[in-house]
């Protein structure tokens, strides 16, 4: 897909601003929406917001998926796959991590990070106050990303 500034700006706002803000403000609602079977929350959200710009929605429903998991210590997470990023700073994945009582929440992104002409990816987190932290490069292997997120979550 060719680069489209409107779609880029909308995706950036959703991935880097709207989703983390909503997660930290109303985690119970966000988690319930993600866990609702067959809802495909992210497909619907991206479709509505991109179409509001007047652009045709360029993605398929199958470009979006969500898998939830539980760590041995009882912490839960949701691994969200998004359409392939067309440019730097857009996300390939989002990972929500939370304790069952919602006392500790973290929002992670796997962002495109161009390097010498080809796309690489970096793991980042966005805090409840909007602070963006880069945790370094990462592979696109889901198990590796989840393991790294668990390590970072455990240190905070």
d(CA 23, CA 33): 11
pLDDT score recorded for residue 4: 83
Q: Which domain holds residue 35?
A: 5-155
- Distance CA(19)–CA(30), nearest Å, equals 9
Nearest to residue 62, comparing CAs of 86, 79, 42? 42
3-class SS shares of the chain: helix, strand, coil, % to 5? 35, 30, 35
Q: Does the reported pTM lie above 0.85?
A: yes
**Tens place of pLDDT for every residue, the chain, 156 residues?**
566 888 999 999 999 999 999 999 999 999 999 988 777 899 999 999 999 999 999 999 999 999 999 999 999 999 999 999 988 899 999 999 999 999 999 999 999 987 666 778 999 999 999 999 999 998 889 999 999 999 999 888
Please name every residue paired with 65 in a beta bridge, in sequence order, or none if there are none: 81
Query: How many independent structural domains does the chain possess?
Result: 1
So what's the pLDDT on residue 129? 96
What is the total residue count of the chain? Answer: 156
């Amino acid at each position: 897909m060719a680069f489209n500034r409107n779609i880029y700006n909308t995706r950036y706002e959703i991935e880097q601003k709207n989703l983390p803000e909503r997660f930290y403000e109303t985690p119970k609602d966000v988690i319930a929406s993600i866990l609702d079977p067959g809802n495909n929350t992210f497909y619907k959200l991206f479709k509505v917001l991109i179409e509001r710009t007047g652009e045709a929605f360029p993605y398929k429903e199958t470009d979006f998926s969500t898998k939830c998991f539980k760590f041995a210590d009882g912490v839960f997470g949701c691994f969200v796959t998004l359409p392939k990023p067309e440019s730097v700073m857009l996300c390939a994945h989002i990972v929500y991590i939370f304790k069952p009582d919602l006392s500790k929440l973290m929002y992670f992104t796997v962002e495109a990070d161009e390097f010498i002409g080809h796309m690489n990816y970096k793991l980042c987190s966005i805090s409840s106050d909007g602070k963006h932290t880069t945790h370094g490069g990462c592979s696109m292997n889901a198990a590796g990303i989840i393991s790294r997120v668990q390590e970072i979550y455990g240190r905070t």
